[in-house]
């Protein structure tokens, strides 16, 4: 028979998966001999079973709970519903990973009309007894029966008004008794039944409510944001109550062993006398600083400090603790590794190493790589953010915070920024034409598009905040306005975006700049010692490449050459190329582009100082580049000597039903080999020149052919690349080496990777397209239906953000195996957006990839994740 329930005396900290963090630590504190009110933990597996049984607690689990209650009564010497010594308990959730405030808690369970009288008489403190009772009715109604809190709060406010008092603590025993009656009447009115009096019935209902709360909307969102699988479930802790609300010799509080904001080593926390549970954080009364406990109750304070030190020594990490003082007796209700800011995380890790508490690899392993985002991008001022309510939430596509005036076009973004305004660019979706506007914006908000949409990918590359796919917006671009959450926003109105959470706020929230603390490079240095996988960057411009180098990139894994065509007036020549009707016309236009491309590549090689540079040949469908404005069309007609009508016809002819599956990738080079020829010339000539200036650098361009699905496509293009490259190298009398490889981003490429591998020097997984084509989800439109997939639990995560290891991952594994079987020297990386996602990085490490490549600002995150994967595998 499975064991579903553990007494606190039966568990330990190592049983976190089964007992949840809270349960495991309550057991551990018990075995350390700390004062912990005793009780039991119902396992996370019982929660999973509850859902499997159709949201029911089965008989076996029920029996074990009953046995545990019996044991608990023995241990505590109290009994549920007893007239002499009644047992009251708290019922709290506790998942494997802490999810503060996401799930439910019920206190003072076990009270009814009779028990409250017993408590009142025995304690000689009727006020306390009735306070407990009214709190219990309130919490039970709210959490278990979902009668909104507000009804009870209204009754409390009414009572306080009638009695002429301001604070809850000023209500008398009689008042609280009267309130408890009113609460029960409210309950009966809303639910249609009497408030349950049997403590065991109360308990079973409360346990079910905690299990249910695993699936509440805020928990679901929190899990998705923090990579916590739904399948983990939550444990439930049933613990004897310790009462902080028994009068002025009782109290409750929370404390951290180090400052969770800065990491400074000193005890931090707050407490409130004559209070319970949420009172400390609810803000109704102002709590006192933990240091003041020294004056209020010196012995308790000393005992508490002792326990804090003991716990930190034991767990070797900063602890976040909850405690209660019941009539001068201290009780520990919880300890856990405290949540902390990124700065604090780095400082604490380094300090713990310096204090000899942990080793360097432990320090590397204890930092959440996702947290580093906040060090690299501006963030909202924490205080101002507390006061703000989001008006909507969409995809957090590129982290950081942005606040600015709304503009609706890239040109406006540029113009407004030039006159010193801070702007947020709001678009239906962005296209390559918007790049300059995007660069000039504090943040970007789009109505359409997913995590690998143009806006998302480009914004991440720039390190600019982006929220994408906000389908709640009704857009009126023509009139420069949109409606969101019932409000109309016009050009110039302020809006604030959080690119990490996807939250959108009305008006201005001040931002603070990113600060990289001194400990950052220390931790990264340690990470580099353990990491076996290289980390490259996706960079399209020398400026991005330099930024990425400064953040530790060890090469370029993807240069999307198309992004280079939007600077200055290069786009004009490019448009001439697109609208060419003969090979000669196209070659003429390409000749204009060649020197510009060559210059770009020279600057990239320079920026990379001999580290590998992978240059991908033109990939996107050509119509992305055609002019849309009348004026641009006229200009193109003039330079090409064609009529405006003809240009419009040519533009029309480029339109496709399904551009993502259309005339793009290597198909462009197959139809217009002259494009690939020009790009080869630019890549090779630039490399020859830079190698000549820096003979000691290892300049070895890696030419990457996109969207290959058949080995013959690759062979066709490779032949022309090799012919031109070898000719150029010979003519220059250079010893330059170069490689030709391909992206693996079409399922067929993965399935035939042996044939393709025979032709390739390297593979790079383009998991954006590979995800798109494996699922058959458009990467630009998936945002429209993914929410429904989350709600129905078909998906827990966005497969464009976090690699689908089961499906897409299987194709990668196969491609790697087949590719290496054909070419043992094949080197393999990933350059889809997943290359910067910690769990996907871990997967790539396990697969045995040589490198991951990600946008510049994610390089430190990927490095840390790669080191953690290596440490975990030792």
**CA–CA distance, 337 with 400 (Å, rounded to integer):** 26
Site string for ligand PEP, 806-845 (x = CB under 6 A): -------------------------xx-------------
Site for ligand PEP in 533-592 (CB under 6 A): 558, 560
Size of residue set near ligand PEP by CB under 6 A: 12
What minimum distance in Å lies between the beta carbon of 44 and Mg ion?
39
**CA–CA distance, 816 with 826 (Å, rounded to integer):** 9
End-to-end CA distance of the chain: 35
Please pick, from the candidates 767, 774, 840, 868, the single residue that binds ligand PEP as defined by CB under 6 A: 767
Please pick, from the candidates 351, 562, 769, 837, the single residue that binds Mg ion as defined by CB under 5 A: 769
**CA–CA distance, 836 with 853 (Å, rounded to integer):** 7
What minimum distance in Å lies between the beta carbon of 562 and ligand PEP?
8
Strand-pair category, 423-427 with 443-446:
parallel
Looking at beta carbons only, is 443 or 665 nearer to ligand PEP?
665
- Residue 371 touches which of Mg ion, ligand PEP, none (CB < 5 to 8 A by kind)? none
Q: Which of 579, 831, 844, 854 is catalytic?
A: 831
Looking at beta carbons only, is 269 or 766 nearer to Mg ion?
766
Segment holding 434, helix H or strand E: none
Catalytic residue status for 454:
yes
**CA–CA distance, 479 with 475 (Å, rounded to integer):** 9
**CA–CA distance, 315 with 307 (Å, rounded to integer):** 12
Q: From residue 788, how far is each of 190, 695, 740, 772, 782 by CA, in Å?
A: 31, 57, 42, 18, 11
Looking at beta carbons only, is 90 or 797 nearer to ligand PEP?
797
Looking at beta carbons only, is 81 or 659 nearer to ligand PEP?
659
Cβ-contact 820, 826 below 8 angstroms: yes
Spatial CB neighbours of 731, under 8 Å, sequence gap ≥ 6: none
766 in contact with ligand PEP (CB under 6 A) = yes
- Residue 832 touches which of Mg ion, ligand PEP, none (CB < 5 to 8 A by kind)? ligand PEP
- Residue 831 touches which of Mg ion, ligand PEP, none (CB < 5 to 8 A by kind)? ligand PEP
What minimum distance in Å lies between the beta carbon of 869 and ligand PEP?
20
Cβ-contact 855, 836 below 8 angstroms: yes
Tally of CB atoms within 10 A around 85: 13
What minimum distance in Å lies between the beta carbon of 365 and ligand PEP?
29
What minimum distance in Å lies between the beta carbon of 762 and ligand PEP?
14
Site for ligand PEP in 418-457 (CB under 6 A): 452, 457
Tally of CB atoms within 10 A around 565: 23
For Cα atoms 752, 753, 759, give the angle at the middle one, nearest 5 degrees.
Answer: 110
- Per-residue buried b or exposed e for 709-745, using 16+ beta carbons within 10 Å of the residue's own CB: bebebbebbbeebeebbeebbeebebebebebbbbbb
Tally of CB atoms within 10 A around 693: 11
Looking at beta carbons only, is 627 or 766 nearer to Mg ion?
766
Which segment (56-64, 646-654, 763-771, 810-818) binds ligand PEP by CB under 6 A? Answer: 763-771
Site for Mg ion in 728-757 (CB under 5 A): 745
**CA–CA distance, 220 with 216 (Å, rounded to integer):** 6
Please pick, from the candidates 443, 620, 766, 819, the single residue that binds Mg ion as defined by CB under 5 A: 766
- Residue 840 touches which of ligand PEP, Mg ion, none (CB < 5 to 8 A by kind)? none
**CA–CA distance, 558 with 671 (Å, rounded to integer):** 23
Catalytic residue status for 377:
no
506 in contact with ligand PEP (CB under 6 A) = no
**CA–CA distance, 368 with 348 (Å, rounded to integer):** 13
Tokens of 716: 């066709």
Closest CA to 357 of 320, 326, 316, 385: 316
769 in contact with ligand PEP (CB under 6 A) = yes
Looking at beta carbons only, is 440 or 840 nearer to ligand PEP?
840
855 in contact with ligand PEP (CB under 6 A) = no
**CA–CA distance, 506 with 515 (Å, rounded to integer):** 26
Site for ligand PEP in 613-632 (CB under 6 A): 619
- List residues bridging with 467 in a β-sheet: 396, 445
Closest CA to 3 of 74, 63, 76: 63
Cβ-contact 107, 94 below 8 angstroms: no
Which segment (78-86, 266-274, 629-637, 767-775) binds Mg ion by CB under 5 A? Answer: 767-775
Q: Which of 454, 563, 827, 834 is catalytic?
A: 454
858 in contact with ligand PEP (CB under 6 A) = no
Size of residue set near Mg ion by CB under 5 A: 3
What minimum distance in Å lies between the beta carbon of 89 and ligand PEP?
53
Looking at beta carbons only, is 414 or 802 nearer to ligand PEP?
802
Please give the backbone phi and psi of residue 392, each rounded to the nearest 5 degrees, phi first.
-165, 170
Looking at beta carbons only, is 558 or 864 nearer to Mg ion?
558
Which segment (84-92, 436-444, 507-515, 764-772) binds ligand PEP by CB under 6 A? Answer: 764-772
Catalog residues that contact ligand PEP under the rule CB under 6 A.
452, 457, 558, 560, 619, 745, 766-769, 831-832
Residues near Mg ion (CB under 5 A) are 745, 766, 769
Which residues are part of the catalytic machinery? 454, 831
């Amino acid at each position: 028979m499975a064991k579903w329930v553990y007494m606190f005396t039966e568990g330990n900290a190592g049983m976190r998966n089964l007992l949840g963090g809270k349960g495991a630590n309550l057991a551990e504190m018990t075995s350390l001999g700390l004062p912990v009110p005793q009780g039991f933990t119902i396992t996370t597996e019982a929660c999973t079973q509850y859902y499997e049984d159709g949201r029911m607690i089965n008989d076996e689990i029920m029996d074990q709970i009953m046995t545990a209650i019996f044991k608990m009564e023995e241990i505590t010497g109290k009994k549920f519903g007893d007239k002499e010594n009644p047992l009251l308990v708290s019922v709290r959730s506790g998942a494997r990973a802490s999810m503060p405030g996401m799930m439910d808690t019920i206190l003072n369970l076990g009270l009814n009309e009779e028990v409250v009288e017993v408590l009142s008489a025995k304690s000689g403190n009727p006020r306390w007894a009735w306070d407990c009772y009214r709190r219990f009715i309130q919490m039970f109604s709210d959490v278990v029966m979902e009668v909104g809190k507000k009804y009870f709060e209204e009754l409390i406010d009414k009572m306080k008004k009638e009695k002429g008092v301001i604070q809850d603590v000023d209500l008398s025993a009689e008042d609280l008794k009267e309130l408890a009656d009113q609460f029960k009447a409210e309950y009966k009115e809303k639910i249609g039944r009497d408030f349950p009096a049997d403590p065991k019935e109360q308990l079973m209902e409360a346990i079910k409510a905690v299990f249910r709360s695993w699936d509440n909307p805020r928990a679901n969102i929190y899990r998705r944001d923090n990579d916590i699988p739904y399948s983990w479930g939550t444990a439930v802790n049933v613990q004897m109550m310790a009462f902080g609300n028994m009068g002025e010799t009782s109290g409750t509080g929370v404390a951290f062993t180090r400052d969770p904001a800065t990491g400074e080593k000193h005890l931090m926390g707050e407490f409130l006398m004559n209070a319970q549970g949420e009172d400390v954080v609810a803000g109704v009364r102002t709590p006192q600083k933990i240091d003041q406990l020294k004056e209020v109750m010196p012995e308790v304070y000393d005992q508490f400090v002792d326990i804090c030190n003991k716990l930190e020594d034991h767990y070797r990490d900063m602890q976040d603790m909850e405690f209660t003082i019941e009539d001068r007796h201290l009780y520990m209700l919880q300890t856990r590794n405290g949540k902390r800011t990124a700065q604090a995380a780095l400082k604490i890790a380094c300090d713990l190493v310096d204090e000899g508490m942990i080793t360097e690899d432990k320090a590397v392993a204890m930092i959440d790589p996702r947290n580093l985002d906040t060090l690299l991008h501006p963030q909202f001022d924490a205080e101002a953010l507390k006061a703000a309510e989001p008006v909507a939430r969409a995809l957090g596509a590129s982290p950081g915070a942005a606040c600015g005036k709304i503009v609706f076009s890239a040109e406006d973004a540029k113009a407004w920024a030039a006159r010193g305004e801070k702007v947020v660019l709001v678009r239906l979706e962005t296209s390559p034409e918007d790049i300059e506007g995007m660069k000039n914006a504090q943040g970007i908000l789009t109505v359409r598009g997913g995590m690998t949409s143009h806006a998302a990918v480009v914004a991440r590359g720039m390190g600019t905040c982006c929220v994408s796919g906000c389908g709640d917006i009704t857009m009126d671009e023509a009139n420069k306005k949109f409606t969101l959450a019932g409000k109309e926003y016009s050009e110039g109105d302020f809006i604030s975006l959080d690119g990490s959470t996807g939250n959108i706020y009305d008006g201005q929230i001040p931002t603070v700049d990113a600060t990289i603390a001194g400990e950052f490079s220390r931790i990264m240095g340690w990470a580099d010692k353990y990491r076996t996988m290289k980390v490259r960057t996706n960079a399209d411009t020398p400026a991005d490449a330099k930024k990425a180098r400064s953040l530790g990139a060890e090469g370029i894994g993807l240069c999307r050459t198309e992004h280079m065509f939007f600077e200055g007036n290069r786009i004009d020549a490019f448009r001439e190329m697109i609208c060419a009707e003969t090979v000669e016309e196209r070659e003429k236009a390409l000749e204009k582009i060649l020197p510009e491309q060559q210059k770009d590549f020279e600057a990239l090689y320079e920026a990379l100082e001999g580290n590998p540079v992978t240059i991908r040949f033109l990939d996107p469908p050509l119509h992305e580049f055609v002019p849309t404005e009348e004026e641009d069309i006229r200009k193109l007609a003039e330079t090409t000597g064609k009529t405006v009508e003809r240009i419009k016809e040519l533009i029309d002819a480029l339109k496709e039903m399904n551009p993502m599956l259309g005339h793009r990738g290597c198909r462009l080079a197959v139809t217009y080999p002259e494009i690939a020829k020009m790009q080869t010339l630019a890549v090779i000539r630039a490399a020859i020149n830079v190698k000549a200036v820096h003979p000691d650098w290892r300049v070895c361009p890696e030419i990457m052919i996109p969207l290959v699905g058949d080995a013959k496509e690759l062979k066709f293009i490779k032949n022309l690349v090799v012919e031109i490259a070898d000719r150029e190298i010979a003519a220059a009398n250079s010893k330059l080496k170069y490689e030709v490889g391909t992206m693996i981003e079409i399922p067929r490429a993965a399935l035939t990777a042996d044939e393709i591998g025979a032709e390739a020097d390297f593979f790079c997984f383009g998991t954006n397209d590979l995800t798109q084509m494996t699922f058959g989800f458009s990467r630009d439109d998936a945002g429209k239906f993914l929410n429904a997939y989350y709600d129905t639990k078909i998906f827990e995560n966005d497969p464009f953000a976090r690699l689908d290891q089961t499906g897409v991952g299987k194709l990668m594994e196969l491609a790697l195996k087949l590719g290496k079987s054909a070419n043992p020297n094949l080197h393999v990386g990933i350059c889809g957006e997943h290359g910067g996602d910690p769990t996907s990085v871990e997967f790539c490490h396990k697969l045995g990839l040589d490198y991951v490549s990600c946008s510049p600002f994610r390089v430190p995150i990927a490095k840390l994740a790669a080191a953690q994967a290596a440490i975990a595998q030792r």
